[in-house]
Chain A
Amino acid sequence: MLPKFSHVRPSSLRQAVQQLASSGSHVHAGGTDLLGCLRDGVFGAEKIVSITGIGELRGINSREDGAVRIGALTTLSEVATSPLIAQNYALLAQAAAAAASPQLRNQGTIGGNLCQRPRCWYFRGDFQCLRKGGDTCFAINGENEFHCVFGGSRCYIVHPSDTAPALVALDARAHIRGPLGMRVVPLGSFFVLPALDLARENVLRSGEIITHISLPPLAPGSISSYRKVRARGSWDFALAGLALALKLTGRRVDWSRVVLSGVAPIPWRSSETEKVLLGRDLNPRTLREAADAATRGAEPLSQNGYKVELVRGIVEESLRAIMESHPETPSERT
């Protein structure tokens, strides 16, 4: 049985923001993460504010400027099967399809997928860990095979989302409504490292709601892919994953975004790898150097060193697949 809470279902954003002003209030969309957290006592709730009655938070639309808007209540199933998303942002469709199980994708929303809490078993379990206000991160000397190899400090969670790294790679922006009005935050600055704040994983302040995500058009001919490695054949969180977007001329990289999942407390953009790729032809040497760059700075814990090799492998493999499906760059005539 869940602990007791009150429940409201406002019909407008303004009312929802007002309802969220009282302390102990939580946004409820699909509820797939929220109910688990309440059941496990990760946090308590006085009041649940269901936003599912707010029509403007739904749907996927293309806009005149070529951008695409995804309402925060759009389910992961809808994102995964939308022709508009599949045609323009293949990696986002792939990432949404790789998340959770069919039932949870039917229920879970894209907004909720970005705001879900970490899966660290100490955080979810009966441990008063640092992130829950205690004074110890139990993962440091404990069972840490699924914890982060980048960006950890004091706390070593990984961000569990598959769609988040895809959206960072696509330069997406989160549109947020709160007590002070609207604000827009690039997904690349939406997530918060433990060094900055231990109590939250993103920049949302109390009372704020993501209303929608906007995606700028990708340059024509861009390629994108999401690769996820799991401990099981299906339905699991990523041990490591790669959201990749590239613009090529022949095999020469004109532009790229390389964002790792499952290895850091936030979607981990590897600017080092992007620098290696820029202006270079995809060939075995570039692939090796890119894979090396993606692992640079990794600081594995006692049981998760394998993640460093996984990152090296998926970067090299994903780039090789793209290289092999593209003709060699025509030699430039003088």
Chain B
Amino acid sequence: MTRNVAITVNGTERRASVEPRLLLVHFLRENAGLTGTHIGCETSLCGACTVLMDGRAVKSCTVLAVQADGRQVTTVEGLASGDQLHPIQEGFWEEHGLQCGFCTPGMIMCSHDLLGHNSNPSDGEIREALNGNICRCTGYQNIVAAVKNAARKMSKPIAARAGAR
């Protein structure tokens, strides 16, 4: 038996008829065609599948699509506006905050949650906030640097950021 859901993904409402056991991560990748959200462990351990649900980071392998019915979901594809990368994406780019890149979407989405309630986190706070995200390349130093870079950018007005390019 399927259930009808209406999930707003990156600002666009998507309606579908889904099995109750369908995970949000599969809904995003297969129904919505958004493959930026990665499937790593599928057991809520690695954090690669992190997305925002109503603004807070959650692991989309541990959310049913029916749980997200009526809610706002943001994936990594929803961050950039046109060609303009989000400051967190810029931070990862500039600080080489990725190696193989598999964990990166989850790292970025979890950092987004952190910077939403702590605009100037310390190294320790960044590491604590990202402790549910695993990077098997172990590039954690640069990931922390990337989040700090993003925090600096995001604390400046947008016009000043553009002018600095």
What are the residues of chain A within 8 A of B19 when measuring CB–CB? Answer: 4
- Which residues of chain B in 99-134 are interfacial with respect to chain A, using CB atoms and an 8 Å cutoff? 110, 113-114, 127-129, 131-133
A82–B19 Cα gap in the complex (Å)?
Answer: 36
Shortest CB distance A317–B (Å): 21
Of B1, B20, B59, B128, which contacts A48 at CB under 8 A? B20
Report which of B43, B47, B53, B56 forms a contact with A101, defined as CB distance below 8 A.
Answer: B47
Tell me whether A102 and B3 are in contact in the complex, defined as CB-CB below 8 angstroms, given that A31-B63, A31-B64 are known contacts: no
Chain B CB within 8 A of A325 CB: no
Name the contact of B62 in the complex, choosing from A4, A77, A107, A235 (C-beta under 8 A): A107
In the complex, chain B residues whose CB is within 8 Å of the CB of A7: 3, 20, 64, 66
Q: By the criterion CB–CB under 8 Å, are A235 and B113 in contact?
A: no
A80-133 interface with B by 8 A CB criterion = 100-104, 106-107
Q: Give min CB distance, B24 to chain A, whole Å.
A: 10
Binds B, one of A32-40, A155-163, A244-252, A277-285: A32-40
Q: In the docked arrangement, what's the CA distance between A36 and B110, Å? A: 21
- Whether A1 and B110, one on each chain, are in contact in the complex, defined by CB atoms closer than 8 angstroms, is no
**A107 adjacent to B64 (CB under 8 Å):** no
- Cross-chain pair count, CB within 8 angstroms: 78
CA A39 – CA B56 in complex, angstroms? 24
Cβ of A302: which chain B residues have Cβ within 8 Å of it?
A: none
Check A102–B64 contact: CB distance below 8 A. Answer: no
Cα-based distance from A235 to B57 in the complex (angstroms): 16
Q: Does A6 contact B (CB under 8 A)?
A: yes
Residue total for A at the interface (Cβ-Cβ under 8 A)? 27
Distance in angstroms from B64 CB to nearest chain A CB is: 7
Residue numbers in A under 8 Å from B53 (CB-CB): 106-107
A2 contacts the other chain (Cβ, under 8 Å)?
Answer: yes
Using A7-B66, A32-B44, A36-B43 as known contacts, say yes or no to A103 and B21 having CB atoms under 8 A apart. Answer: no
Q: Does B7 contact A (CB under 8 A)?
A: no
Closest CB of chain A to B107's CB: distance in Å?
12
- A59–chain B nearest beta-carbon distance, Å: 15
List residues of chain B with CB within 8 A of the CB of A50. Answer: 66-67
Size bracket of the B interface: 20 to 34
Q: How far is the CA of A185 from the CA of B43 in the complex (A)?
A: 33
Known: A1-B21, A50-B67. A107 touches B131 (CB 8 A): no
Whether B59 pairs with A107 at a CB distance below 8 angstroms is yes
B57 touching A4, Cβ below 8 Å: no
Near B by CB (< 8 A), chain A positions 219-270 give 234-235
User: What residues of B have a CB within 8 angstroms of the CB of A202 in the complex?
Assistant: none
- Tell me if A320 counts as interface (CB < 8 A to partner B): no
Is A106's CB under 8 angstroms from B128's CB? no
A58 within 8 A of B: no
Q: Which residues of B contact A32 (CB under 8 A)?
A: 44, 62
| B75 interface contact, C-beta 8 A | no
Q: Report B42-81 residues with CB < 8 Å from chain A CB.
A: 42-44, 47, 50, 53, 56-59, 62-64, 66-67
B146 at the interface (CB under 8 A from A): no
Q: Are A235 and B131 in contact (CB under 8 A)?
A: yes
Closest-by-CB residue of A relative to B127 is A234
List 17 additional A-B contacts (Cβ < 8 Å) besides A102-B57, A102-B131.
A7-B20, A9-B66, A31-B62, A31-B67, A32-B44, A35-B44, A35-B62, A50-B67, A103-B50, A103-B58, A103-B110, A104-B44, A104-B59, A106-B56, A107-B58, A234-B127, A234-B131
A residues with CB within 8 A of B: 1-7, 9, 28, 31-32, 35-36, 39, 48, 50, 52, 77, 100-104, 106-107, 234-235
Instruction: Identify the B interface with A (CB < 8 A).
Output: 1, 3, 19-21, 23, 42-44, 47, 50, 53, 56-59, 62-64, 66-67, 110, 113-114, 127-129, 131-133
Which 4 A-B pairs give the minimum distances between C-beta atoms? A101-B132, A7-B20, A2-B21, A106-B56
Q: List 26 A-B contacts (CB under 8 A).
A: A3-B21, A5-B20, A5-B21, A6-B20, A28-B67, A31-B62, A31-B63, A32-B44, A32-B62, A35-B62, A39-B42, A48-B64, A77-B56, A101-B132, A102-B57, A102-B132, A103-B47, A103-B50, A103-B57, A104-B132, A106-B56, A106-B113, A107-B59, A107-B62, A234-B127, A235-B131
